Amino acid sequence: MIISPADRTADVREYYFSTKNRQIAAMNADGRSEPVINLGIGAPNGRPPQAAIDALAAEAQKDGVHAYQDYRGTPELRRAFADWYGRWYGVKLDFTTQVQPLIGAKEGILIVSLAFLNAGDRVLVPDPGYPTYCSSAKLCQAEAVPYPLYESLGWQPDFDELERMDLSGVKLMWTNYPGMPTGAPASPELFAKLVDFGRRHGILVVNDNPYSFILSERPLSILSVPGAFDCAIELNSLSKAHNMSGWRIGMVAGAEDYVKEILKVKSQMDSGMFRPLQMAAVEALKQGQEWFEALNAEYRRRRAAACRIMDVLGAEYNPDSQGLFVWGRIKGDSLAMSDFLLEKAGVFITPGDIFGSRGKGYMRISLCRDVPVYGRAVEKIKAVL
């Protein structure tokens, strides 16, 4: 290069799954007798609601829908998100001021960070937790401050320990329940503690909530807690619960003042979501109980199949975890085990190391493959162990 990269990227690496998928693609192109079984990233392989597919196709045939769209999203989509929150989470949202569609919730993590963080600010990030929380802070030249989640507490923080932490300069706190990678459930009591913590310390709590329908009997939102609109916002997505990860349709909800600041940044970064996608999302958000019952029946079968892999590995795990993954503690080095299984068995399982220091010694299996694939993975792993 004839110029130097920006300083803000110095501590940020290419996303782990970007490099790992490239490695797996190269292995598959090398003439293997059987493709690598990839049990890594949580990209649902199911079919989206048919009504959404039909709406996308029909809307794309119309004149006048292929131009730039309103940066705020269509009124129809914002209203659909608000209705969805009222119906499933019991949260009343004003669709004109408290809902902002996003081109995926992952986009929202960086936009929220850019909207509220200055260089030198501090951000509480869960350990173990989604790596993008840390990298987004670093791209804003803020400091990511890990707060530990404890298996003995059901992968929740120790709130007494949080109170003893040096919270000077902390502006944001990332939370993620149901949790990734741990599968820890949300609860009204947990959300109430987080809201109380944020209000007392002047910290904006950002709950990342894409897994609330997956293997969960009751979807919950942090915004249902009284007082939450003062100190909390929430990201959500159609990626997981509607099998639409490649469509890139997400949202953020919260008080008007927060949403305005997010739109200020977002409007500089894109030119609105393709209208046919927005109208398809409206249809997806209308899905009722039958959709989620069928979805979770399949994920329960997959979870049971993934647990058999954990048994072969001699792992300790929660067979009733929520979300798209099974998380287990093995004996030994999880990073070395992941590399060994990929090289020798042709099976990729994510090492917990990538989710923070407290992920060392754990492994994460995605539930995004069909049940027979897990059986084949068991055979291949047994053969090399």
Give the CATH number of the domain where residue 17 resides. Answer: 3.90.1150.10
Quick: pLDDT tens for 252-309.
999 999 999 999 999 999 999 999 999 999 999 999 999 999 999 999 999 999 999 9
Percent of the chain, pLDDT > 90?
95
Q: Which of 268, 284, 300 is the last residue of a domain?
A: 284
**Same-domain pairing of 232 and 341:** no
**Same-domain pairing of 134 and 14:** no
Write out the H or E segment, with its range, that includes residue 170: strand 170-175
Q: Which of 284, 308, 328 is the last residue of a domain?
A: 284
What are the strands, taking DSSP E only, across 22-169? 37-39, 99-102, 122-127, 143-150, 156-157
CA distance 62 to 19: 39
**Same-domain pairing of 263 and 325:** no
**Same-domain pairing of 277 and 234:** yes
Return the closest-CA partner of residue 138 out of 165, 119, 111.
119
CA distance 32 to 36: 8
316-317 and 325-329 beta bridge pairing: antiparallel
CA distance 121 to 117: 6
Would you say residue 213 lies in a domain? yes
Average pLDDT score over the chain: 97
pLDDT grade for 367, boundaries at 50, 70 and 90: very high
Quick: pLDDT tens for 95-118.
999 999 999 999 999 999 999 999
**Same-domain pairing of 101 and 43:** no
Region 37-56: mean pLDDT is 96
**Same-domain pairing of 100 and 163:** yes
Q: Which of 267, 284, 301 is the last residue of a domain?
A: 284
pLDDT at 17 over 90: no
**Same-domain pairing of 349 and 221:** no
Q: Which two tokens stand for residue 20?
A: 């790992």
Number of domains within the chain: 2
What is the value of pTM for the model shown? Answer: 0.96
Lowest mean pLDDT among 11-20, 169-178, 327-336: 11-20
**Same-domain pairing of 215 and 304:** no
Domain range spanning residue 221? 64-284
pLDDT at 12 over 90: no
